[in-house]
């Protein structure tokens, strides 16, 4: 078995090496970057991103990031492009070509075809003096001194650099477009991320039971209500307004303090002025209130009236937590 300390040290060395290379990218940003961003922003077409090998994988990721942040993008594999996929490129499209060396055979065949169609071309390359660098309209420099691979062969640091340059491009475009969290939710309706951005308290609380008692409700009937509604809590309501809350914990604490509770009512054991949230608030805001106050249930109001309960378990089930 390989020495654990040696493995840990190698992992740290790899991370530190890539980290330094990424930090250096900030020194390589030139006016070309700003021109490239404005070119894409003002374009009436899409962004076509192409590459080969590991660069093609990075291209796919950048495409996904652009699409999810408001910039239409399409992936085109460089090898497939010269065998028919060039038809993907439309007149107003901007082409982003990714290549560490900028001199691969596929790139040398592809680039003149793009130029002949008069599409603007942006290069993400580690070699600005390469064939690709010389032919591109704008160069986004992704130079790294060395791969993390001990043989300096496997694309590691270089592909990380390409990815970071692509992220920087996407974020600049996002800010130019004024892309908001509401826009983000529109493009990410599924999964936990989307739910955090669009799911409202009402969407959750409306499917729950609506436990409630009055100020003069007996302890027995309070226990029945909490047990029946299965939320571990009940609101104390008068004229549809919340005046208090009773939880399972309140009942347990009461039992430790009194021997005879036959004459007690809700007003004797409730907590007044309970935490609550509006039905149209975001579900993630309900979670924040629960976490800040160390509670598991939150009463819901709508137009000032009691509207139900949202439980921490509901948020967990929806993937909010």
As a whole number of Å, the end-to-end CA separation of the chain is: 39
CA torsion through residues 9, 10, 16, 17, sign: positive
Sign of CA dihedral 129, 130, 135, 141: negative
d(CA 104, CA 182): 42
* Nearest-angstrom CA–CA distance, 95 and 84: 16
- Alpha-carbon distance of 97 to 109, in angstroms, equals 12
Is 53 exposed, middle or buried, given 0-12, 13-18 or 19+ CB atoms closer than 10 A? middle
Instruction: Decide: 55 and 107 in contact? Cβ < 8 Å.
Output: no
Q: Identify the helix (H) or strand (E) that includes residue 246.
A: strand 241-247
13 is in an annotated binding site: no
Residues 6+ apart with CB under 8 A from 157: 17, 18, 21, 144, 146, 147, 148
Name, in order, each residue with C-beta under 8 angstroms of 105's C-beta and a sequence gap of 6 or more. Answer: none
- Known binding residues are 77
- Known binding residues for Zn(2+) are 77
């Amino acid at each position: 078995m390989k020495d654990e300390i040696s493995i840990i040290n190698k992992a740290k060395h790899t991370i530190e090496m890539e980290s330094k290379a990424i930090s250096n990218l900030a020194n390589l940003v030139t006016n070309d970057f700003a021109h490239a961003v404005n070119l894409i922003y003002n374009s009436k077409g899409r962004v076509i991103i192409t590459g080969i090998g590991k660069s093609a994988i990075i291209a796919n990721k950048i495409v996904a990031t652009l699409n999810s942040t408001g910039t239409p993008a399409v992936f085109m594999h460089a090898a497939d492009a010269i065998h028919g996929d060039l038809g993907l490129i439309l007149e107003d499209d901007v082409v982003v070509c990714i290549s560490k060396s900028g001199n691969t055979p596929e790139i040398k065949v592809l680039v003149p075809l793009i130029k002949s169609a008069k599409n603007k071309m942006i290069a993400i390359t580690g070699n600005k003096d390469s064939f690709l660098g010389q032919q591109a309209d704008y160069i986004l420099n992704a130079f790294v001194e060395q791969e993390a691979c001990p043989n300096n062969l496997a694309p590691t640091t270089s592909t990380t650099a390409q990815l970071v340059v692509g992220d920087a491009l996407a974020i600049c475009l996002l800010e130019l477009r004024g892309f908001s969290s509401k826009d983000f939710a529109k493009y990410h309706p599924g999964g936990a991320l989307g739910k955090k951005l669009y799911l409202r308290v009402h969407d959750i609380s409306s499917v729950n039971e609506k436990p409630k008692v009055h100020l003069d409700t007996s302890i027995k009937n309070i226990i029945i209500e909490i047990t029946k509604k299965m939320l571990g809590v009940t609101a104390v309501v008068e004229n549809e307004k919340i005046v208090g809350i009773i939880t399972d914990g309140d009942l347990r604490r009461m039992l430790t303090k009194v021997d005879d509770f036959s004459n007690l009512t809700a007003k004797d054991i409730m907590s007044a002025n309970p935490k609550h949230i509006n039905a149209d608030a975001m579900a993630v805001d309900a979670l924040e209130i629960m976490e800040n106050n160390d509670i598991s249930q939150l009463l819901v109001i709508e137009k000032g009236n009691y509207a139900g309960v949202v439980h921490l378990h509901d948020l967990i089930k929806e993937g909010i937590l």
